[in-house]
Amino acid sequence: MLIYLSLLKESFSFAWSALRTNLLRTFLSLLGVTIGIFSIIGVLAAVDSLEQEINDGLSSLDISTIYVLKVSFGPTELERYQYENFPNVSYDEFQMLKRSMEDIDAMTFTMFSAPESIKYEDKIATGVSIVPGTNEFYDLENLKLDQGRFFSESESVSGAPVAVIGYEVAQNLFKNTNPLGKRVRLYGNKFTIIGVISKQGSGLDLGAPKDESAFIPVNFVRKIYGDNNKSKTTALILKPKKGVDQDEFIATLEQKLRNYRGLKNDEISTFFINPLKGFADFLDQVTGTLTIIGLIISGFSMLVGGFGIANIMFVSVKERTNLIGIQKSLGAKNSFILFQFLFEAVILALFGGLFGLLFVWLGTVVANSMVEDFNFILSTKNIILGTSVSAIIGLIAGIIPAITASRLDPVEAIRTGM
């Protein structure tokens, strides 16, 4: 054991000497490993950060939720010409499903709308995401109120001019003033503020950030734009009761909508049913694909780094041929010489890998200081992976030079070195 510790110490000394003796050569040789580790761990860190952000966002959503609308959340087998003219889901379909579908925990009819400006006296909140919906939206989205209430069923059905605003909208318009009962201008009409949503913070929202949104009865918007306005995409959002088989629920939902639309058995469904679970699985596939592509590209950098380590080790063997001959003449075994150069190659590769990890860490620090709503992370798993990959690259790159050194004839080595 002591001899291998001594060997490791001696190899570290030779590696450090190689670093110091010819700095430019060593720098260029290790640059490949540094770039390779930076690329690999940088890609993995970015994907991990994206995946954590998605998971954090999805954790606030119920993945049993189902979206029904004329577009698909993921890839579809249908051709573009088949689905580009699909009709919007209608309010009548919402009412039909509400009457006939069993096992529904909550369901709402909503409309995706362009951002608008909301005005109160001389203050204007711009870029506010307007979320028209029915009163069930409150329960479906598990909204929490900071002040006031959400609009009632009667207000929803009649399309009353009332609004529930997000935390940031309330701050922009009213600062520390109580907004309840205040009348604001939206869509050229006066709306009464009846509630304020509690601060949600950053996260994944299917639609718009709730802090920057205003919730109004969808029937008010229907009065303005009608039911056939192509600039507005409507959707049904449903959540089955707990314990209900989602596949059976979706099959029943699809059949009822097909029957309502009078579709024949040989006709395709003119709507898409998007389970949130399927959307989450699709995001997992995307992040997995990004990881594979990134690793393939980064692998080429590691290949260049490996050649750099091999090059510096061949030079090291040539420069120390005389010393190798002396060591072998004094009784050093081939395995001793072999491990000596392997250790040196691994140590050199680790130097490059550690520099690569350092640059990734600096990158996460800079990125986090510049981007507020996204957290870049360098996990312990990726640090260990980067260190391991560096060591493996050093081992592979150093094996041929080490074998070459171990097989040198001591007499020829001394004569060649002289």
Judge whether residue 1 has pLDDT over 80: no
In the chain, the percentage of residues whose pLDDT exceeds 90 is 21
CA–CA dist 351, 346 (Å, integer): 9
The percentage of the chain sitting over the pLDDT mark of 70, rounded to a whole number, equals 87
Count of beta carbons in the 10 Å neighbourhood of residue 304: 14
| pLDDT grade for 418, boundaries at 50, 70 and 90 | low
pLDDT of residue 319: 74
**What was the pLDDT predicted at 260?**
93
Q: pLDDT-based confidence at 95, cuts 50/70/90?
A: very high
Residue range 149-184, pLDDT digits in tens: 999 999 999 999 999 999 999 999 988 889 999 999
pLDDT averaged over every residue in the chain: 82
How many residues comprise the chain?
A: 418
Question: Other C-beta atoms within 10 Å of 215: how many?
Answer: 27
pLDDT at residue 110, as a whole number: 92
- CA angle (308, 313, 316) in 5-degree steps: 130
State which of 122-136, 205-219, 364-378 shows the largest mean pLDDT.
Answer: 122-136
Q: Domain-by-domain residue ranges, the chain?
A: 2-58+282-417, 87-270
Q: Are 378 and 45 within 8 A, CB to CB?
A: yes
**Which pLDDT band holds residue 220 (cuts at 50, 70, 90)?**
very high
Phi, psi dihedrals of residue 70, rounded to the nearest 5°: -85, 0
Give the number of other Cβ atoms within 10 Å of residue 274's Cβ: 22
Residue 11 has pLDDT above 70, yes or no: no
pLDDT surpassing 90 at residue 195: yes
Q: How far is CA 75 from CA 14, 50, 71, 285, 286, in A?
A: 56, 20, 10, 11, 11
Question: Cα(300)–Cα(289) distance, rounded to whole angstroms?
Answer: 18
Residue type, 383: I
pLDDT, mean of residues 226-233: 76
Tokens of 25: 């050569």
Q: 289 vs 135, which has greater pLDDT?
A: 135
State mean pLDDT over 269-277: 86
Round to the nearest angstrom and report the end-to-end CA distance of the chain.
Answer: 33
pLDDT in tens, 236-251: 999 888 888 888 998 9
Q: What pLDDT does residue 194 have?
A: 94
Question: For residue 3, is pLDDT > 70?
Answer: no
Integer Cα distance of 119 and 98 in angstroms: 35
- Banded model confidence at residue 21, pLDDT cuts 50, 70, 90: low
Residues 6+ away with beta carbon under 8 Å from 107:
94, 97, 98, 101, 136, 140, 236, 237, 238, 239
CA separation for the pair 68, 109 (Å, rounded): 10
Look at residue 58 in the predicted model and tell me its pLDDT: 59
Residue 262 has which token pair? 């009078």
More confident residue, 186 or 386: 186
Residue-level pLDDT at 391: 85
Does position 205 have pLDDT exceeding 60, yes or no?
A: no
For residue range 312-341, list pLDDT tens digits in order.
Answer: 778 777 777 787 777 777 777 777 777 777
pLDDT average, residue stretch 105-120: 89
3-state secondary structure the chain: CHHHHHHHHHHHHHHHHHHHHCHHHHHHHHHHHHHHHHHHHHHHHHHHHHHHHHHHHHHCCCCCCEEEECCCCCCCCCCHHHHCCCCCCCHHHHHHHHHHCCCEEEEEEEEECCCEEEEECCEEEEEEEEEEECCCHHHHCCCCEEEECCCCHHHHHHCCCEEEECHHHHHHHHCCCCCCCCEEEECCEEEEEEEEECCCCCCCCCCCCHHHEEEEEHHHHHHHHCCCCCCCEEEEEEEECCCCCHHHHHHHHHHHHHHHHCCCCCCCCCCEEEEHHHHHHHHHHHHHHHHHHHHHHHHHHHHHHHHHHHHHHHHHHHHCHHHHHHHHHCCCCHHHHHHHHHHHHHHHHHHHHHHHHHHHHHHHHHHHHHCCCCCCCCCHHHHHHHHHHHHHHHHHHHHHHHHHHHCCCHHHHHHHHC
Lowest mean pLDDT among 31-45, 53-67, 112-126, 340-354: 53-67
The pLDDT tens digits for 292-307 are 877 777 777 777 778 8
Assign 122 a pLDDT band (cuts: 50, 70, 90): confident
Least confident of 40-44, 327-331, 386-390: 327-331
pLDDT at 372: 67
The residue behind tokens 């600062």 is 175
pLDDT at 111 over 70: yes
